[in-house]
Amino acid sequence: MSEFKSIDRFTRTLLDGFDDAVCMLDDAGRLIFMNRAAERLFGYSEEELRGRPVFSELEVRAESMPLRWGRKSPSIAQERFFHADETRFRRKDGTVFAARYRLTPLKEGDVRLHLLHLTCTGPHVISDTALDTESNLKAILDTISDGVIVIDEVGIIQLLNPAAERLFGYKREELIGENVKRLMPSPYREEHDGYLANYRKTGIRKIIGTGREVAGQRKDGSVFPMYLSIGELRQANRRLFVGITHDLTRRKQNEEYLSILSGAVEQSPNAIMIADLEGRITFVNRAFCRLTGYSIDEVIGQNPRLLQSGQTPPGIYRRLWEMIQAGNEWQGEIQDRKKSGELYWALETITPICDGAGKIARYLATQRDITEQKRNKEALQESEERFRQVAEMVGEWLWEQDSEGRYVYSSGSVYAILGLKPEEIIGKRYLDLLTPEDRQHWTGTLPPTKRVHESFYKLINHYRHRDGHEVFTESTGAPIFDEQGRVIKWRGMDLDITARKRFEDTLRLRERAIEAASVGIVIADARQPHYPNIYVNPALSRITGYSQEDLLGRNLKILQGPETEETAKEEIREALQQGTSCEVVLRNYRKDGTPFWNELLLSPVRDNQGTVTHYIGIQTDVTERRRAEEERHELEIAKHIQLSLLPKKPLNLPGAEIAGVCVPATHVGGDYFDYFHYDDNADIVIADVSGHSVGAALIMTEMRSTLKAETRKTPDNPSPQSTAEVLRALNQLLYEDLSAAELFITMFYVKYDLEKRVLRYANAGHNRALLLRQSDWICSELDADGLILGVKRDVIFEEKTLILEPGDRLLLYTDGVIEAQNEQGEFFGISRLCNVFSADRSESPETTIGKLLDELRAFCGKSEFEDDITMVILQVR
């Protein structure tokens, strides 16, 4: 082998850009490198031919033709192109092609090399518009973004491309013939001539053949960082140096910016996490590790779900994903779980990170620990709520008494309870307000006030109202002590329980009977205006979100909202006015504002005189039942649309007969098949969309429309595409929708030439088709390489071809056929499917499909299948 090691990346890139085949040979004619055009021309990869003599092994020579490589090559200094001729070569597959070739001598150090340039002139020319190699080289140099500068051995600029002009700010004519050190700042400018002279004298390289970061100087005098790689070549008797420059200014700025940003992220007191589009964690900072207790290695590659505590409602996560997938920022409070199992509250912000094209590439999440703040806030809110309820609740009389039991403070509620104003009781003792009987009772039971140092709770007091009627209260109080431990006052409240006591026994009996009911029960007083509620059971609170206190004394109109049906409200009003029963389903609203469907049964309660005294309402939340009915209706519509898109009858053609069937396992299936005829061709497609939802049906409908568009002839597309091209186009067109819906499609596509009986097919991860030849009793499987649709945007599919004969039959099917199970868990399988398919060849495809369905139902022993069943049969006449 030659001592030549490898070619540089720039040269490889340039040669790979040529349309013509180019090879690099050593002095013995053995291959060192070949570009992609040469690989396509010979049918070999570079690895297969590397080190092998190209002419000796691949050239097809007549007996009188001498060995091409045996000729003695002239020296490099004699001429650049020393040999050009025509010959024939043999490809890897055995085919022969004619080519015009040209050999160019090169030199790499002390090693002699040869550049072989081939142009195919036989019947297998790849392109009629192939460009000349030098034209290609010039086009590439003019379009690449890196600067290219060629100098001679003393540093005089011979050539530069437009990118170099833009990089240094000079015009081409300003630099050609100038010393390249003009583009260097000090001290490189002063050292450059000496470096070249030393290299010419000693041959010792420093940067030639390698690359490094250096500084360049523009025409305006500004200095900038750049990466410089230099290669050496010889042209005739000249030694030239090729320099490739890449501006590092932006990269240096980005590196500095990233360094600052990285430091800020790492030092941030907030936990920071970055995840990819699949939800895998790709970065966390130290604050994240401190907060959660996980190390970086434990979370990288994991899903953020490992932090979920199970306490956050699923609806929050659903709204979160809807917002960030739409490109919006989400912020909210989340309760997560640390590695230790401890729960914590975090104020979380999730922001989509977009790439240069504006597409979401990552998600950035920041968390600020608000556990302590949350606890303090909740405690404060609870305390404030208690006080507010105490202060505002009707019937609660707040008071303070001195150590002798005389009132020193009274809230205004005393007027509602006793009919006395606060100032009327200030200075009086509490015993003065009791009935004589109750005063005598407490005087004999309680010790003197000065000896009482303990709190009391819900003591029943019996008062006399100003107007004379009896009032019962529950009194609760506690002593207040000074620094010496002496009682200085009492603070407490009295709750009016007169009405409650009056109905206590009756209500207690009713509550025991209906407290455990799962439906909401309410009793309203029909004798008072607005029908206030006098009882509600716990189930009604659970359904509506209102507490029993919220509902008692109020009308159930509070459940009505802006979209409550007027017809339902009118039916309720009419029943109340006429004292009759009614049963309605209406839209109500919970306390938090969320709507629900309420099935209300309203019945009057009459006294002995027939007067309506109360109404009993039985309320049932039927939201889920109603939603299920609506979804069932939507699914029926989707099923009707889906089935309407499938072929209605078999396709009878002069040279073939095609029939198919689709039996969805649920209302809406994910299977699809179609066949259609144009010119002398018949196309057949079978596909399986993942899932059994309306979304799967919509994707199937979109796929059908896209497929029809791709296979339809147009002025721009006068002939239908190949099966592989159709699948590739479908994958590219549907990729975004499939990714967004988290669905995928498997598909088997067939094109059949009725006149020539040529079958072409391609497969996108679908079940292999079964081919039954007229002369065979065993099915063979047809397959071709290709990924399922929706996994990657750009996929290359393989198309295969075969010839069919009269009597041959082809079966396409979905996985629901072979994965059907009987009661013992056994699969129907391909073997059983082939046996049934091969049993009777005289039947039509439609009849055969019917027999296959009968066999499947008999095997499963069920009236319905667990998965969609779809089959298509092609029979050649």
Indicate whether 589 pLDDT > 90.
yes
pLDDT at 222 over 70: yes
Count each helix (H run) and each strand (E run) in the chain, helices first: 26, 37
Q: How many CB atoms lie within 10 A of CB 614?
A: 17
Is the predicted pLDDT of residue 784 greater than 80, yes or no?
A: yes
What is the predicted pLDDT for the residue at 235? Answer: 67
Sequence-separated contacts (24+) of 225-229 with Cβ below 8 Å: 225/249, 225/252, 226/167, 229/8, 229/10
Give the dihedral of Cα atoms 101, 104, 108, 109; nearest 10 deg. 150
pLDDT higher than threshold 60 for residue 521 = yes
Q: Does the pLDDT at position 74 exceed 50? A: no
**Would you say residue 872 has pLDDT above 90?**
yes
Choice among 99-103, 167-171, 819-823 with the minimum mean pLDDT: 99-103
Distance between CA atoms of 285 and 327, rounded to whole angstroms? 24
Q: Give 319-346 pLDDT, tens digit per residue.
A: 888 888 888 999 989 899 999 999 999 9
> Any idea what the Cα angle at residue 339 is, between residues 336 and 341, rounded to 5°?
70
Calculate what percentage of the chain has a pLDDT beyond 70: 85
Q: What is the mean pLDDT of residues 754-771?
A: 95
- DSSP-based three-state secondary structure for 621: strand
CB 350 within 8 A of CB 324: yes
pLDDT per residue over 693-718, tens digit each?
666 777 777 788 888 777 765 566 65
pLDDT (average), residues 252-263: 76
Task: Give yes or no for residue 386 having a pLDDT over 90.
Answer: no
DSSP 768: P
pLDDT one-digit tens code per residue, 454-481: 888 888 889 989 998 899 999 899 999 9
pLDDT of residue 268: 84
Q: Given a cut of 90, is residue 530 above it in pLDDT?
A: no
Model pLDDT, residue 714:
57
Residue 772 host element (H or E) = strand 769-772
Instruction: Flag whether pLDDT at 141 surpasses 80.
Output: no
Determine what percent of the chain is predicted with pLDDT higher than 90. Answer: 32
Higher pLDDT pick, 816 / 510: 816
Question: Which CA distances in Å does 574 have to 131, 598, 760?
Answer: 90, 18, 73
Q: Which of 87-91, 101-105, 481-485, 513-517 comes out lowest in average pLDDT?
A: 513-517
Q: Is the pLDDT of residue 27 over 70?
A: yes
Name the one residue in this structure whose structure tokens are 């006591």. Answer: 501
Distance CA 409, CA 406 (A): 9
**The pLDDT of residue 525:** 93
Q: What is the pLDDT of residue 637?
A: 67
pLDDT of residue 343: 92
What torsion do the CA atoms of 484, 490, 491, 497 make, to the nearest 10 degrees? 150
Would you state the pLDDT for residue 82? 38
The pLDDT assigned to 842 comes to: 83
User: Which of residues 2 and 831 earns the better pLDDT score?
Assistant: 831
Q: How far apart are CA 701 and CA 873, in angstroms?
A: 22
The pTM is what? Answer: 0.37
pLDDT tens per residue across span 643-692: 777 888 999 998 999 999 988 876 556 788 999 888 888 999 999 888 66
Helix axes 694-711, 723-741, angle to 10 degrees: 150
Predicted pLDDT at 80: 31
Band the pLDDT of 4: cuts 50, 70, 90.
Answer: low
pLDDT band at 385 (very low <50, low <70, confident <90, very high): low
- 771: helix, strand or coil: strand
| Better-predicted residue by pLDDT, 716 or 314 | 314
Neighbours of 443 (CB within 10 A): 10
Burial of 626 (0-12, 13-18, 19+ CB in 10 A): middle
For 599-647, write each residue's pLDDT tens digit: 999 999 998 888 999 998 988 988 888 887 776 766 666 667 667 778 8
Q: What are the DSSP calls for 443-457, one per residue?
A: HHHSPPGGG--S-EE
Grade residue 511 by pLDDT with cuts at 50, 70 and 90: low
848, pLDDT greater than 90: yes
Q: What is the pLDDT of residue 13?
A: 66
Per the model's pLDDT, the better-predicted residue between 52 and 103 turns out to be 52
Q: Residue 420: its pLDDT value, please?
A: 92
Each residue's pLDDT tens digit, 402-453 = 988 899 998 888 898 999 999 999 999 888 888 888 888 877 776 655 556 7
Nearest-Å Rg of the Cα atoms of the chain is: 45
Instruction: Give burial (CB, 10 Å; 0-12/13-18/19+) of 552.
Output: middle
* φ, ψ at 725 (rounded to 5°): -65, -35
| DSSP state, residue 429 | B
Picking from 230-244, 799-813, 846-860, which range would have the lowest pLDDT averaged per residue? 230-244
Cis preceding-peptide flag for 562 (omega within 30 of 0): no
Nearest to 452 by CA among 397, 493, 405, 409: 405
Cβ atoms of 800 and 748 within 8 Å: the answer is no
Which whole-number Å values give the CA distances from 692 to 687, 696, 742, 859, 871, in the listed order?
Answer: 13, 6, 13, 23, 18
Q: State the pLDDT at residue 124.
A: 44
Average pLDDT, the chain: 83
